[in-house]
Amino acid sequence: MKYAIVALVMLLVLPATTFAQEKYKSPKDACMQNLQDVKGAYANKDIGEKASVEVAKLIEISEHLCQQGNFAYARDLLALARGMLATE
């Protein structure tokens, strides 16, 4: 049952991910746009001081990873930063 749910989620997520990447000319463009989105969210942050410092570090590292071509690692770190910035 677990495997069926995981397979269903993957079938729904993978096409959306592929579609999102198609609107950019290259993976680096997608990475840099993702970075700019997180930087924009960071500019309007509503989190504590300690979390703010950690998010700033994640953004800095992600920017370096995007420049170096390590897009998968940058995407993971930016997702973490976005989660830390999320507010209800």
pTM above 0.85, yes or no: no
pLDDT of residue 9: 46
H/E stretch holding 38: helix 27-43
Least confident of 2-6, 25-29, 56-60, 73-77: 2-6
Q: 58: how many CB neighbours lie within 10 A of its CB?
A: 22
- Each residue's pLDDT tens digit, 9-60: 455 555 544 445 456 678 999 999 999 999 999 998 888 899 999 999 999 9
Number of structural domains in the chain: 1
For residue 9, tell me if it sits in a domain. no
* Biggest CA-to-CA distance, the chain: 43
For residue 39, tell me if it sits in a domain. yes
Which of 32, 29, 28 shows the shortest CA–CA distance to 40?
32
Residue 45 near residue 59, CB atoms below 8 Å: no
Structure tokens at 49: 């001081």
Q: Residue 88's pLDDT band (boundaries 50, 70, 90)?
A: low
For residue 16, tell me if it sits in a domain. no
Domain span holding position 52: 26-85
